[in-house]
Amino acid sequence: MMLNTILKSIFAVLFTLATSINIASAVNENSRQPAIVDTSNNGISSLQQLFNGFSSSTNELLEPEKAFSFTAEMTNANSVSLDWNIADGYYLYQDKVKVSVDEPKSLQLGPLDFPPGISKHDETFGNTVVYYNNLALTQPLTHHLKAGDTISLSVSFQGCADIGVCYPPMNKTVELLIPSSSAATSSTPPPLQSSLTETDQIANSLLNQSFWWTCVILFGAGLALSFTPCVFPMIPILSGIIIGHGESLTQRKALYLSL
């Protein structure tokens, strides 16, 4: 009886041990199997579209210098012309355009006068004003420099592409030569010359004189005209008129006819 109990206990222990070994082996086999990955056509297609879209957007972006072509030149001794040629599909922020002085420190800048722009709600900067295609500004200068001096300005600006990509702020340093004062004023139109004719000038002069003085001037002018060559053809005509009165002509009447 005792022996049967001992044998049953040993058998139960061995059965339990064998069962544990089988379970552990099954777990190890399952852990060695590779994870199942969804390789369906729909998943691959979505990944390809995402990658192609990102690559296409990156390839379409222009270099900053081509997207926002910037030039600066002296308009005259007191102003600098700033011009941006903006590529299609790109825009420039108004509030990101800044100009500062590098040299000389005594140079002072006037305020920039921006033209009307386009109001735009930007995801990055909120409501702002932007420019497409072109932006032209005039930077006023206040200085006591002489012709031939050089000035150095720093111009910073920032823009974005319509596809939603923004460029980092760009900074350009420009060195410009102060032109001579004659060159600065060469664009000023010459003063208008008087359009009055000589006759108008004489008439205005006579209007400023007294009545009797005007009569004296006119009499003298008429007397002077009687000695000009254009009066010579009148001599035979006048002589014929005087002679035609015959013997009844007196000296007073002859003088009257001659006048």
- For the domain that residue 179 is a member of, what is the CATH number? 2.60.40.1250
The total of structural domains in the chain comes to 2
Instruction: Read off the pLDDT of residues 33-45 as tens digits, 9 standing for 90 and up.
Output: 433 334 344 444 4
- Shared domain check, 125 and 223: no
Structural domain that includes position 113: 64-185
pLDDT, position 36? 35
Residue 106 lies in a domain: yes
- Shared domain check, 113 and 151: yes
- Shared domain check, 142 and 81: yes
Instruction: Read off the pLDDT of residues 134-172 as tens digits, 9 standing for 90 and up.
Output: 999 999 998 777 888 899 999 999 999 999 899 999 999
- Shared domain check, 163 and 126: yes
Residue 117 lies in a domain: yes
Instruction: Read off the pLDDT of residues 84-142 as tens digits, 9 standing for 90 and up.
Output: 999 999 999 999 999 999 999 889 999 999 999 999 987 777 889 999 999 999 999 98
Residue 46 lies in a domain: no
> Of 128, 161, 185, which closes a domain?
185
- Most confident region among 30-34, 220-224, 238-242 by mean pLDDT: 220-224
Grade residue 189 by pLDDT with cuts at 50, 70 and 90: very low
Residue 21 lies in a domain: no
Residue 143 lies in a domain: yes
- Shared domain check, 129 and 86: yes
Residue 253 lies in a domain: yes
Residue 128 lies in a domain: yes
Q: For the chain, give the secondary structure using H, E and C.
A: CHHHHHHHHHHHHHHHHHHHHHHHHHHHHHHHCCCCCCCCHHHHHHHHHHHHHHHHHHHHCCCHHHHEEEEEEEEECCEEEEEEEECCCEEEECCCCEEEEEECCCCEECCCCCCCCEEEEECCCEEEEEECCEEEEEEEEECCCCCCCEEEEEEEECEEECCCCECCCEEEEEEEECCCHHHHHCCCCCCCCCCCCHHHHHHHHHHCCCHHHHHHHHHHHHHHHCCCHHHCCHHHHHHHHHHHCHHHCCHHHHHHHHC
- Shared domain check, 229 and 169: no
- Shared domain check, 164 and 236: no
- Shared domain check, 216 and 179: no
The whole-chain average pLDDT of the chain stands at 73
Instruction: Read off the pLDDT of residues 195-230 as tens digits, 9 standing for 90 and up.
Output: 456 677 777 776 666 777 778 777 777 777 767 777
Residue 104 lies in a domain: yes
- Shared domain check, 219 and 169: no
> Of 185, 211, 244, which closes a domain?
185
> Of 161, 185, 209, which closes a domain?
185
